[in-house]
Each structure stands twice: as C-alpha cells, then as structure tokens.
Structure 1
Amino acid sequence: MPRFYENKYPEVDSLVMVQVQSIQDMGAYVTLLEYDNIEGMILLSELSRRRIRSVQKLIRVGRNEVVVVMRVDPDKGYIDLSKRRVSAEEVVKCEEQFEKGKSVDSILTQVAKKRGVPVEELYEKVAFPLHRQFGHAYEAFKLSISEPDNVFSSLSIDADTLADLRAVIARRLTPKPVKVRADIEVKCFAYAGIEAIRNALQAGEAVSTEDVQIKVKLVAPPLYVLSTTSTDKVAAVELMEKAVEAIGEKITQEKGDMTVKMKPKVVSETDDAELKALMDQFAQANTDVAGDDDSDEDDE
C-alpha cells in the first residue's frame, strides 16, 4: 500500500495499523500499512500489561495490529511502537480510520489504472489536499456525491481525471437501497374487530415520511408484514419501530393486542423469497378451498 497520509512518518502518540513481519528476542518487527510499509518495532515490554508467558498468544506473524507510536527517529528510521498502551476503544477507532484509508486507496488505484498515472500522483493532487480540508479524503469523497462543486473546486486535476474520479466514487460510495421489514400479529375480538385492526394498521402506515414509505401487507390472519426500502438503513429501522409502536398503541385502545414476531431489521433476498413462498402457500390454500366449495355445489 502507498502512503495514506501526507507526512512520511506518523506523529508520536498517534494510532497506526501495522502488520507483524517477524518476532525476535527484542520484540516484533512490523510494517506500518498506512505509511508505505515502513518498518517499526514493538518492544517485548510493550506487548502486554501482563506478564508475558507466550509471545505467540499475544502477537502472530502476518496479523494486523493496532499500536500507538512512542518514538520516531527519521534520521535512523526507527519507529518504536506499543500494543499494551492501546485501549479497546482506540482499536475500534483506528480500525475505522484504516477502513476509510483503504476505501480511498482503492478508488484512487482504480482511477490511476484507467488514466495510466502513478497512484502516488493522485494522492498528491487529490487525497492529501482533501485530507487537509475535510479531515479525511474519505469524508470528502462521500460529500462529493451530493456536493461535487464544494469538494472538487479547489483541486488541480484535469477534467477527464475528475470525471473518472467522480464515476468511481459514485459507484463505490453511493448508498445502496436496503429493505427493512417487521412481522406482527394483530388480533381483536371486539364487536368492531376487523375495523379496529384496519385502523391500527393504517396508523402504522401513517408514520411514513416522504423518504421512507411504510407498507402493510396481510400474509394470513393474524400475521401482517410491514416493509419499506431506503438508502438510510438506520432511519428506516427507527421509523419502522415507530410504526410498530403506533399499531400496538392503536389496537390496545380498541381492546385488541399485537405480538411482534420479527423486530424491524434489514432483510435479504432470501428472507423475501421465504416470505413470498409463505404468502403463495396461503393463497394456494385459499384457492383450493374455494374450488372444493364449487365442486360441492355442482354435485348438488
């Protein structure tokens, strides 16, 4: 991997992702994945807060590790690192940052291949300036999908490269629609039970917004399915939860009850296929019953 960031060396106290290359008596030799694979070392004393019984249980060759930079000597090329000083929260933070860096690298590599230029050139002209301006080139790329002029206006790249860059970003980072579903059973044995159920389900659909439309379908009484499709997974799940809550409140007022069979969640094509098969099964059963009734009447 090339250098993800403008500085050749990481700053002291910064978190970095490394890959373990070898384990020696002094410690572990690693390469810094975000800094053009330059070499660093995790001293044996910096591997763990506890007494080390087996180095192999703490660190293995080929594995990626999150470490913190303790010392940097650019003249000698020494970088001393620590694994034991990194908290669990810092590991998550560094892993997220590393994934963003890999996404940027993947996009720039694809554009560089298409344009026939070194990827390092695109880092200099695109990633580093955007990183300075937006905190991370990944955040700039995401923003560029909706506000390209605000993001790219300051860059010094030719129109063809910019067009290719925008095309790859759109393909890689544009949110893909997901389907969110919830399964519920709604019952009401009061005098106006059917009307009460209808009103409750309509209360659920009424929670819909312009961006997230919730639809209710009958599978077979008393089972109903709520579904919606949205590019904002979190918002869709939250709105679906409100819809389920609205149905529950409404049917309770009507002396009925609701049971959640499946909480709102993102579903796959397999889940959808299973649901369709179930609905087809009930539809076929109803058709068979209707046909049997007709044949009985003919016999009479």
Structure 2
Amino acid sequence: MVKETCRFYEKRFPDKDEVVMVNVRSIAEMGAYVSLLEYDGIEGMILLSELSRRRIRSIARLIRVGRNEAVMVLRVDEDKGYIDLSKRRVSPEDVKACDDKYQKNKAVNSILRHVAELCDAKLEDLYERTAWKLVAAYGTQYEAFRKALTEPEEVMGKLDLDEKTSACLLQQISRRLASQPSKIRADIDVHCWTSEGVEAVKDALRAGIAVGTEAAPVKVNLIAPPLYAVTTMSTDKDEGIKAVNKAVDAIKDRIATNGGSLSVIKEARAINELEEQKLQEEIENEDEVEEEETGENGEVIGV
C-alpha cells in the first residue's frame, strides 16, 4: 500500500524564521501541540507566550483543535525533534503568503499521491524524480507543474520516468490544475427599522440567494446581526465576483422596498483557505451565542 503522506520539500525540517502551515492537535498548559502539514506531520509546539501579542484571556478564542494556522519557526532541534513555533510574530501578509504557498504545494502533493497510487510507486521516490527535481529549473514545483500544462514536452523531458508514469502524471496535472474553483465573499450590513423588521431582512437575503446559478450558487451566512457574508464558488473568479455583486444588489433593492438599507462592509473578493476557516469560526461562534440567548425553543435569525 502506498504511503499517503510525505513532506512537500526536499529538506526534512523547516528553517528558522520560516512561516509554515500547521494543524492544531491538542492544547496543554505550555501551549499548543501541532503537526507541520508541509513536513510530513512532524510535531511542533506553539508556546503559550507566542500565541498572541495581547494578554491571553481565553486560549479557545485564539486557537482551536483541528484548525490550520500559519506560524513562524523559532527554533529547530533536529536531533531531539523539537520545533518551537510562534503565532503572534506572523503578520497578515505572512499568513496570506503562507496559505498561498501551502495551497499550491498541497495541490502538487495531491497529484503525486494519486500518481503513486495508480502506478504503485513510493511517494517520496516520486517526489525526488519529479517535483523536487524541477524546482531548480522553474523556481517552485507548482510552477513547474503549471508549465507542464502548456509545454509538456519541455517539462517531462527533464524527468526520468517510464511511459506509464509520465502519462499518468500529465493526466493528473491536467485534471487538477487546469481549473480550480475560487471562493468569493462580500461582507454586508443589512438593517430594517420598519414593522416588517426581521422578516424583511430574511426576504431580502432570500432574494440575493435566488440570483445564484448552477455555475455560481450564492449562499448567505449570518456572522453577527446585522452583518452577513455573501459567498459563492466559481471556477471563473471574475464571474464569481459578478455573481456575488449581483446578489448584493438584489438584497439592496429588496430591503429598500421595505424601508431598510444595505451597506457593503467589504467588497466581493476571492478569499483563501484561512479566511474561509475564519468565516466558519465566526459562524460557529455566532451559533453558540444564539443558542445561549434563545434556548432550545428560540428563533434563530439567519438564512
């Protein structure tokens, strides 16, 4: 059976000051134990003092088990296997860059894992003969695989692969990198002070959802009254942004007919995995608050 995981890079450990993606496994008195997703899941720790620049009132609000986090490497002891990490030293720009790098290399990993399964090959050996070998020529393994979409002979000519593995690799690259859907999100503030109130808001949000299409279905999630997130998934980012803007316009027109108003807090834009994760956390936190406030029989306002 093919080993399902492998580090993304030729080096076995991250470098000091490198920003890496981790998954939170458990929370202890000293900090949070995590697995480094790009380095075959080896263990590291985010020290309690490195979780936030501010005074820590609740660890649960800063970090959650099962979530992915972008963190900075403080120390690496390869002999003892200790890796100390920091969340508070990572800037928003670092988070965005780290997530972009992680998503691209995760796509490469997925491609190679499937090729290894189909061709009964060892995953690490396949990395050595393909992705890691191509970094020198193309800068990153992801860019090398993207290049293979348009110039397959040039890229594949640099590799020592048998005909079956080569054909399988190209097929998987074409299938997984040709078109990847983007998640588009806009944040809006919806108010209605007339007697229709809550029902008018619900009706307006449904009007926004209704403009979605099969290619770009629209969803509306309650973040915290009166803030809502309008989202869609689309393989064409521009079309996705158009769909979300159309939904926002539909909500705005409908709520205006009932004496309400809509303000755009953040324009429609593509969001990455960590932003999507943050959105989910906001929704979950709001659900918890609503459960506390309404009880089992209370009505939850949302769409």
**Where on the TM-score scale, by shorter chain, does this alignment land: which range?**
0.5 to 0.7
CA distance in 1, matches of 2:32, 2:116: 34
- The answer on 1:76 being equivalent to 2:89 is no
Cα deviation for residue 26 of structure 1 reads 0.9
Cα deviation for residue 265 of structure 1 reads 6.5
Structure 1 residues 86-97: aligned runs within 5 Å: 86-97=90-101
Q: Which of the residues 135, 145, 153 maps onto 2:139?
A: 135
Tell me what 2:157 maps to. Answer: 153
Q: Which of the residues 13, 23, 28 maps onto 1:24?
A: 28
CA distance in 2, matches of 1:67, 1:8: 18
Structure 1 residues 94-173: aligned runs within 5 Å: 94-173=98-177
CA distance in 2, matches of 1:22, 1:265: 37
Pick the structure with greater CA Rg. 1
CA distance in 1, matches of 2:34, 2:113: 24
CA distance in 1, matches of 2:100, 2:43: 22
Provide the secondary structure at the position in 2 that maps to 1:67.
strand
Q: Which of the residues 52, 73, 79 maps onto 1:48?
A: 52
Unaligned segments of structure 1, at least 5 residues: 178-230, 234-262, 272-300
Cα deviation for residue 172 of structure 1 reads 1.7
CA distance in 2, matches of 1:49, 1:176: 36
Provide the secondary structure at the position in 2 that maps to 1:19.
strand
TM value normalised by structure 2: 0.58
Q: Deviations over 1:108-148 (max 9, x none)?
A: 11111111112222111111111233222111111111111
- The answer on 1:2 being equivalent to 2:6 is yes
CA distance in 2, matches of 1:100, 1:8: 19
Cα deviation for residue 176 of structure 1 reads 8.1
CA distance in 1, matches of 2:6, 2:239: 42
AA matched with 1:78? Y
CA distance in 1, matches of 2:120, 2:239: 47
Provide the secondary structure at the position in 2 that maps to 1:157.
coil
How many aligned positions are there? Answer: 188
Provide the secondary structure at the position in 1 that maps to 2:130.
helix
Q: Which has the higher contact order (CA 8 A, sep 6+)?
A: 2
- The answer on 1:15 being equivalent to 2:12 is no
Q: Deviations over 1:171-203 (max 9, x none)?
A: 2222489xxxxxxxxxxxxxxxxxxxxxxxxxx
CA distance in 1, matches of 2:14, 2:100: 17
Provide the secondary structure at the position in 2 that maps to 1:145.
helix
Provide the secondary structure at the position in 2 that maps to 1:94.
helix
CA distance in 1, matches of 2:13, 2:241: 42
Inter-CA distance 112–52: structure 2 relative to 1 (3 Å threshold):
same
AA matched with 2:136? R
Cα deviation for residue 152 of structure 1 reads 2.0
CA distance in 1, matches of 2:139, 2:29: 39
CA distance in 2, matches of 1:88, 1:150: 37
CA distance in 1, matches of 2:167, 2:41: 30
| More displaced stretch, 153-162 vs 94-103 | 153-162
TM value normalised by structure 1: 0.58
CA RMSD, aligned part only?
A: 2.5
AA matched with 2:72? V
Provide the secondary structure at the position in 2 that maps to 1:69.
strand
Inter-CA distance 176–124: structure 2 relative to 1 (3 Å threshold):
closer
Identity %: 55
Provide the secondary structure at the position in 1 that maps to 2:45.
strand
Unaligned segments of structure 2, at least 5 residues: 182-234, 247-303
CA distance in 1, matches of 2:39, 2:138: 20
Structure 1 residues 197-216: aligned runs within 5 Å: none
CA distance in 2, matches of 1:77, 1:146: 41
AA matched with 1:156? D
